[in-house]
Every structure is written in structure tokens, then in C-alpha cells.
Chains A and B, each alone.
Chain A
Amino acid sequence: MSHLPVLIPVTLLLSAFLIPLAGSIKRDFAFAIALVGAALAFAFTLAGLFTVITQGEIRYHLGGWAPPIGIEYVLDALSGFMATVVTLIGLVVLIYSRRSVLHEVAPRVVPLYALAMLLLAGLVGIIVTGDLFNFFVFLEISSISAYALMAIGDDRAPVAAFRYLILGSIAGSFYVLGVGFLYFSTGSLNMADVAQRLPELYQSRAVAAAAIFIFIALGLKMALFPLHLWLPDVYTYAPSAVTALIAPIMTKVAAYALIRMLLTVFQPAYLRDLLPLTSVIGWLAACGILYGSIMAIAQSDLRRMLAYSSISQIGYIGIGIGLANPLGIIGALLHILNHAFMKACLFLVAGNIRWRTGQWEIRRFAGLGRTMPWTMAGFSVAALSMVGIPPAAGFFSKWYLLLGSIDAGNWFFVAVILASSLLTAVYFFRVLEQVYATHTNEESAPMKASDPPLSMLLPTLFLGAGLLILGLFNSAIVTYILNSVAQPLQRPGS
């Protein structure tokens, strides 16, 4: 009997509450406990993923109460994969954060780490839980800690955080409303149990309402176009380590939740064929890709540009969900992994630049290529991956999405994916040109900059190198993990 599914969130939760205690003794203890907690959680998820691949899924009944009465935690290929992504990115960003946080928001270090661990616990909880209401509790744990984390930052951060709070609680409430409809229709809250009872109720309007409410809620959390309005301000005004933690994983976990609802709870037969919600998501996502890319080109602030690029990249994941065929879902999941690496890397680079020059404005970056060579090397790899140039990882997820679109015969999606690669190239090469090709006088701030200390540089480079490694080994990930996830989407007879 393996305890892994419950150990992952409990470790993070426990360290979140130990941090204020230890932090009141000595401020540095907060970082140490956060690091140990995140490392342990990552070890547990790796062990869990390995067990899942070799022995099949782990179902854990809390308190020994069997579902549908008790709460169940499930570690299968999908949740194991996502939990590994989240804890790995969390760990890397935590290692990076120490100096950056001390530099930017020194008096609030202890609450910041406690909240960061709470955020990770919430996100991992969303991933492993097999219970619809437990899902809501973890969703709110992660959201509430995210609101507080985002509010730590410059003068505008609380306003941005408050706006997100209002939208986020609309999302949370819609989710509960949807779960209410599901519960009163099926009489169960366990995801597997609900899935079993739903086919008889496919004609019920209450179930349709539940699906729509839940999808609006998760779309808001995922920042799916046109529900993305909260995202740019929040990413721009939070401290750079916080953005680097939130941007790569939080919206992705919402995307994971959408996939979970599609695959496990409602079943493709309902959402794809009877009530075509997935294609609505796909078309909205395609609009989001174009909108995000065009807005990103218009930005002069690096973080804002990255925020809009997030909206466009989330669109790719949305297209994969919208296609709802095996290749599409594989592409979406691979893009979740790749984009988590890319965005974390890019926001860490942004943090490094801020640490050395205090600048966010792209036009002031001239000369950084010579003075911060390693940082900018990381940036270049991530940028190439965003554009989708092999062998960087970003190419492969886009490739699967392209194949999926062709498979579905959806040529508009094909055109959007190709066009957006060009637009992405425009806004990233604009930065690269500033950094490498523009000459500047010797007195400007970038000319006095240098690469940051190793504790900040290594995580950045790790993510950059990770992108190349993921690119090389993506077929292994697809064969061993993602193929089995995408199996239920196979249309009968094809």
C-alpha cells in the first residue's frame, strides 16, 4: 500500500505552517524549510510517477473510507505527470527565489514562503484529488494564497490582486454551482463515480448547466480568451520570483483540470460529441493565440510582453483540448510541460535583468548580450523554443498540435498555429535584436551589468538546458506517459 498520493500535498501543507513558526526564530529558516518541503514533495512525485508507469495507477482512500463515501486521491499517468511538472518548477523557482526575494521584498520573506508553499500544496492537491468538492477546497487554497502572494509587490500590486480576487471568486463560485448541479443530479461527488452515473443523464439540462458552469470557472482560472483580463496586471506588478512561480504553473493546473473534466468526469462522448463545449474552447483559444501574440508585440515592458505571450501560449493548450483527439491532447499536455519550462525560464531571466539593471523596458536592454552572456543564452533558448524551432522543446508540442489539427481536418487551427509562430518570432527577435545587435554607449546601465550570482543563474540555465533535453526526449515522454492518457479519446473505429 503506497501512501504517495497523500504524502505529496501533506508535506507541502505541513511545511507551509512550519515556516511562520521557524521564521519567527530566524528569517533564514523559512527558506530552508520551504526548500526541504519542496524537495521532498518532488521526490514523492517522482516516486509516484515511477510507480504509476511500472505498476499502474494508485488510488488512495483517505481515512480508509472507500469511495463514493470517502475522499479518494488518485495518482494516474495524467496526475503523476502534472504533479511532477508543478513540483519541479516550484523547486527550481524556490532555489532561485532566495536572493531575489531578499532584494525586492525583504520584510515579507517569511509570509511569502509560507504562502508559496500553500500555493504549491493547493495546486498539487487539485492534481491528485479524485473528489469534486475536495478539488474546490484545493482550488481555493491555491487561489487565496495566490491573491496574497500577488499583493506583495509594488504599489499597484494590491489593486491588480483585488481585481483577480473578484474574478477568481466568481470562478470558484461558478465551480461550486456546477458541482452542486452535478451532485443533485448524480448523488455523488467522487469523480469516477460521477462518471459512471452520468451516461444515463446525458439528456438532463442540469448536467449541461453543470458542465457549462464548471468550464466557465476553469476557463477563468486558466485565463482562456476572453476571460484573460486579470492576467497581465497581475504578472506585471508581483515580485519577479512570485511571477516566476505563478505564471508557469497556475494557469496550467487549470488547464489540467479542464482535461481531467473532459477525460474522467464528463467523458469525451458527452463534451465532444453531445454538448460540443470542447470545440467552443478550441475556437476561443485560437482567437486567444492571435490576440495574445499581437498584444505582446505592442508591449514595451518585458514582463507585460511575457504576460501577453502567456495568454497566447495558453491558447495552444486550449486548441489541444478543443481538438479533443489523441494527438491534440498529447500536444496540449506536452505544451503544458514545455511552456512551464519556457515561461519559468523567461521570468527568471526577467528577474535577473531586474536584479542587475533595475530595468523592465525592452529598449534599454541594448548590450546585455555581452555583459550577461549566460542569462541571455538562457533567454535565447527559451525564445527559440517559444517560436518553435527544433530541437528546442516548443517545436514538438506545436508539431503534435499541428498533426492533431490536420487529423481533425481543421485548417483554421493549422493556419493559426503557423501564423502565431511567426508573430511569436516577431516579438522575441525584437528583444534579441536589442540585446545582441544594438550598440550603446559604455555608460548605460546594461553595460555595467554582469551575470547574477550562481544561485540565480543555475536555475535559469537548468530550465534552458531542460528545454533542449525535453526536446530530445519528448518521444519517451509521449510513449511512456501521455499515450495512455490520450487513449480514451480514440474515436471508435479509427
Chain B
Amino acid sequence: MMRVFTMEFQKIKRKGIFTTIAILLGVQCLWGLWSFGRMSGEKLAQGWFQCLYHFPILNAIMMPVVIAVLVSRLCDVEHKGQTFKLLETIIPAETLFHAKYLCGVIHVTAIALLQVFMILAFGVIKGFGGPIPWDKILFYLISTIGVHVTILLLQQVLSLHFANQMVPLTVGLLGSLAGLFTMFLPKGVGKLLIWGYYGVMMRVGLNWDPSTRISDFYYVPVDWLGVFLLAFMFAGIYVYGRRSFARKEW
């Protein structure tokens, strides 16, 4: 397994995947500098709320497409070289499936970790009000990784199944759009789609007064039903995806 896993990293050598991640984080960092750089007074006092509210929205817009691109890069290399048949004569299909998945998981976990470091850096440098809400930030990190890896799994199943990478990328795009929209709809709608879980897992709510145009943030409790549903979806996609890949004729 370890050998197959390290092979995955050799396959993506010079494929620009780390550049993609760096660009993604760069865009998020620029967004942060642009929006937090101008903050002062009241807004700065609610800085942690602002971060925990806006970064999930950024994730919902960007991450499904970024994950689709990442997975497509990992799987398309086999489709292009028509190497599945060859590889499956040497290693079990499940091992290949797991190796590719773990490779993707490492990338998305790195993205989430770096994003949290970025949030903490913004908070400390700009001097957000109040102590660092470690528990909320830790939940944000874990839940974000949870949603990332579930979407990653779905994208991998699609990217392995369809030689035409247009299909998984379109699904990623539509998912991203649907996930973003569900954030503005009742929370139950978001629970129906895996891309909606960036919103479901949010620990911050927003009260916006249209007459005064003042927004007020508040913490919301963990949506445990959402956590279980996400875990259930993950298990379902994993069981189906692993089986369908192992049984596929190339």
C-alpha cells in the first residue's frame, strides 16, 4: 500500500498541483487582506465571527471546483495512459482506489490547515476582539476537512468512472453553485446535498437588520444531525465507489 501511495506522488510530479493549491490560498489571502485590511472598530471586534462566517462561503464557492480539478488531475493520468488494466494486474483495484484517495486527502487537509493558519494570522495581526475561540476554530477545521474529504470521495468515484473528465468537472461546478445557493435557503435544504455542508457546519449565524443595515453575528450550536448525515453520505459513497471501481472492466 505504501509503495502504491508514494507512486501516486510520483505520478503528479511537475503537474502543478501544489501551484494550484498555492494560487487558491493566495486568492483567499488576497480576499482576506482586502476585506480585513479595511476593518476597524465594530467590525474588528467581530473579526473572529467574520472569519468563521465568510470562509465557509469562500469554501463553498471555490473548493468543490478545486477538488474536482485536483481529483481529475490524479485520475486523468490513468485514463490518458490507459493504465488501469495494467495496474490492476499488479495491485488490487481497492489498493489503487485507496492510494489515490489518500493522496487527495493529504492535499485537501493541507489546504484546510493552511487556511486555518491564515485565519489565525489575520486575527493576531489585525487584533480581532476577544480571545481566540479555539473550540470554534477546531470544529471549523475538522468539519471543513470532513466536507472536503466527502466531496473528494464523490469526485474520485466520478473521475475514475468517466474517462471524459468533463462529467466530474461539471458535477463539481453544479455542486459548487448549489452549495452556495443552499446557504441562503433554510438549513434543511443544505443537508440534502454534500456541497451544502459547508453551510450546515457553520458555527456562526447572522442577524441582518434591513432598516438599519447593521449585521450582528452570533454563535450557533453544532448541528449533530448534519454531522451524522454527512458521515452517512461518506459511508454510502465509499461503499458504492470502492465496489464499482473494483468491478469495472477496463
Q: Bound pair: A and B?
A: no
Measured CB to CB, the residues of B under 8 A from A are none
The residues of A with any CB-CB pair to B shorter than 8 Å are: none
